[in-house]
A = this chain, B = another copy of it.
Amino acid sequence: MAEQDLIARLLAPLATHPAARGLKDDAAVWAPPLGRHLVFSHDMMVENIHFLPQDAPADIAWKLAATNASDLAAMAARPAGCLLALGLSPAADTAWQQAFITGLSEALTAFALPLWGGDTSTSPTLTLGMTVIGHTEPSQALARSTARPGDTLWLSGTIGDAGLGLAMAKGDISPVPYLLARHHRPTPRLELGQTLATRATAALDVSDGLLIDATRLADASNVALHIHLDRLPLSRPARALGLAPLTAATSGDDYELLFTAPPGETFKATAIGTVHEGQGLHLFNHNQPEPVPARLGWEHEV
């Protein structure tokens, strides 16, 4: 299909927000709410690296939008709009593209994230990218570097579900629909994220694994984090499969929020540890120290 046709037939119907200008100009134009701070992130997804070729195109689209929206959630930002980068391989034919657009539309509706623009190209490898734009009240975007000794460490939702779902998608273990869905259709914690703006001291989203992302938060804030493995929130289906807390803490793609807040604050989340003077990660199980494993999660090579 010619690029102009793809844009007109599949993308323009999604781009109804005025900032998109019907995808007819060289760029999108947006008048932000006066005085807000703006938040920008771009995440890529490459075939055979971030997803499997046999994954449903609608799920791939959902995940692309969800992982990007999760970065907004981690900054306590409200979604404003997004740009889509589509590098379409020959295998991504018209039927694939239509299914992708269906999943994209579902995700963008669910996350209140209008499509503003982007670019399309042919590519030998299916390569997807998204830029998300969000906004916060002035100086309320969260950071990783501002956790303080004495804070409580919180985690939203449950962890380890997406890792089990990935093993199911690969055929390594029998499928459980809830866990497969947690892998294919993660939920960015946008609502929780926005409530953190004035209440949390630091935050990030857990994409590569709780322990590796917690290490990043500890390093950025120059503090020590104590994490209690026995307090980690596991879903009922994950517990039914006997998922070990340490395995849950080193598997990725859950897109939960890990954040710190002064003691006394409460959240729809689980208190899993505490922030201390010092450095690095310190694990406990029923208050007994546990060794920190060599592998903390997914480390990406480039």
Contacts and interface: CB of A to CB of B under 8 A. Distances in A.
A83 interface: yes
B129 A75 contact: no
Interface residues of A, number: 72
A235 to B, nearest CB: 24
Contacts of A301: 1-3, 122
Instruction: Find the residue from A6, A31, A116, A120 having the highest chain B CB count within 10 A.
Output: A31
Given A3-B300, A37-B30, A42 B117 contact: yes
Given A24-B143, A46-B123, A87-B127, 5 more contacts: A21-B143, A27-B74, A48-B124, A122-B301, A125-B125
A51 to B, nearest CB: 12
A172 interface: no
A240 interface: no
Contacts of A50: 121
Interface in A281-302: 299-302
Contact of A44 (B119, B136, B302): B119
B29 A39 contact: yes
A241 interface: no
A115 to B, nearest CB: 11
Of all A-B residue pairs in the complex, the 4 with the closest CB atoms, nearest first, are A27-B41, A3-B300, A131-B131, A42-B83
A299 B122 CA distance: 12
Contact of A123 (B86, B125, B143, B145): B125
Contacts of A136: 29
A83 B85 CA distance: 13
7 contacts: A25-B204, A27-B39, A34-B35, A40-B133, A41-B83, A44-B85, A131-B131
Contact of A32 (B32, B44, B131): B32
A121 B21 contact: no
Nearest to A118: B42
Contacts of A117: 40-42
